[in-house]
Structure 1
């Protein structure tokens, strides 16, 4: 066997089981089940002794990971994420368009988090989890919880609507400069405020608009359904569209640009932004 990883255990407030502590310390094994498999196959040693799931970690232990050609543990997702903010409680990452946030697929943001984020040093650290969703074709900012308490508290912020989200979209057709869209999505009340920032003429679509969107509720596909509902679908949307107004090959022109909220543990104001993708600025230069 070949040694492929080394980790010096961080000091813990109280001893923690190795199978809990080890999640995320090696980028090649991002899950608890992967750790268990590696232990079962004799690939992990603690202070020179074969690791067990019942071993407790206090801090200072030397943890070594070995590679065996017979092992299937090392199937690794190679997906580098841009980390926009991170501390022991939470992180904010950029999700590119065309990637699932989570689900049964191998290539998801959720599966890539442990290799891109630093493991929390807090006693209730868990495998990082997305707090909310972004559609597969949508790019933008995604909030991640790194501890049990953070996942709970950040979920409450969304439920209480105290997290402000701002999106930008390119829409088709003539629009009013300002508007409030209020109608049900999936039989639930949904509310979106919008402002048209720029409009250009288009030979194919007549008008294209750069629109700032602020959803007040969080229904599935809310922005896409609301804009279609007022006759101004998002450019590149292949699910919510008008006949003869489909753009192929460029993806969906919807971007989650900013997140603002009060940190539930430090009480500092968090405000993170991500610039518009290049495909937006090609339509609206000099933004």
Structure 2
């Protein structure tokens, strides 16, 4: 199976090959790609190269995924922050850096592996590799998501997501100072036609709507609240970048040089609200901003950056 097949553009020229692959694929690390390059599983213009190869304009980079797929996810004793649990659902505050479910390059150490250890049951609708997973957030996005513990709950939650009846709010720190206090981005999203592992605003993409409002303005940065009307892959990241205000620390859609030592984008899934699949009562869950988020905001407030 081919994981990546792209033609490099001007903005990618000069990158080390392993660094570029690690940035454009948020589900895999740079070290993972280093091993693939060493095994000859990454080809540049049809030839094997070294990790330190500097990308040139128009290079064709092909990554062949040869890693065997496990038959099922295994339970692992990994600490996770469960903020609510009953017989039907479990609500987790995921930390930054954790992948939601097993995928090529990350078959262990994921949220699913942890949930299999901490929960007696998870729904089987998504199979043995993604049990209970109704929706996901990016590896380097922290925050709340809900997991189904049985098939009925999974089906009902799936219907709510499909009908856009689940309320999701995110906090994001973006580059620059937004002039408008609030706004709506209604731009269709789809795979980038040139770099397939990226998302982009494309004419024939799926409708994507993000409502945003300013929480606080700092010197050179803005803290915003984003409410999703739809839930497309990388939606907030692409939409805010389209306004000229990419997320701070975003390795794919953000600026290359930043003053913060970050491991990923400054994006946190702050709250989640929906009608409970069994009780049919409205429930709402909130989470505190993680330490890496509050630390930077504190410095910005004190004008230490």
Fold in common (TM above 0.5): yes
Distance 1:216 1:139 in 2: 19
Q: What are the Cα deviations for residues 56-81 of structure 1, in whole angstroms up to 9, with x where unaligned? A: xxxxxxxxxxxxxxxxxxx8623111
- The answer as to whether partners of 2:75 and 2:116 remain within 8 angstroms in 1 is no
Q: What are the Cα deviations for residues 161-190 of structure 1, in whole angstroms up to 9, with x where unaligned? A: 110000001001121211111111101111
Query: Residue 132 of structure 2: SS of its match in structure 1?
Result: strand
Question: 2:109 is matched with which residue?
Answer: 107
Query: Residue 197 of structure 1: SS of its match in structure 2?
Result: strand
- Give me the CA root mean square deviation: 2.3
Structure 1 residue 119 displacement after superposition: 3.8
Question: 1:239 is matched with which residue?
Answer: 252
| Superposition map of 1:7-26 within 5 A | none
Question: 1:63 is matched with which residue?
Answer: none
- The answer as to whether partners of 2:171 and 2:269 remain within 8 angstroms in 1 is yes
Question: 2:176 is matched with which residue?
Answer: 173
TM-score with structure 1 setting the length: 0.66
- Aligned structure 1 segments of 4 or more residues deviating by more than 3 angstroms: 242-250
Q: What are the Cα deviations for residues 124-182 of structure 1, in whole angstroms up to 9, with x where unaligned? A: 9x975121010011000111001111111111110011100000010011212111111
Residue 285 of structure 2 is aligned to residue 266 of structure 1: no
- The answer as to whether partners of 1:237 and 1:247 remain within 8 angstroms in 2 is no
- The answer as to whether partners of 2:75 and 2:117 remain within 8 angstroms in 1 is no
Question: 2:295 is matched with which residue?
Answer: 282
Question: 2:84 is matched with which residue?
Answer: 85
Larger radius of gyration: 1
Residue 196 of structure 2 is aligned to residue 194 of structure 1: no
For structure 1, the residue ranges without an aligned partner over 5 or more in a row are 1-74, 202-206
- The answer as to whether partners of 1:237 and 1:246 remain within 8 angstroms in 2 is no
Distance 2:162 2:281 in 1: 20
Structure 1 residue 266 displacement after superposition: 0.4
Name whichever structure is richer in strand by fraction.
Answer: 1
Query: Residue 217 of structure 1: SS of its match in structure 2?
Result: coil
Distance 2:212 2:234 in 1: 16
Query: Residue 129 of structure 1: SS of its match in structure 2?
Result: coil
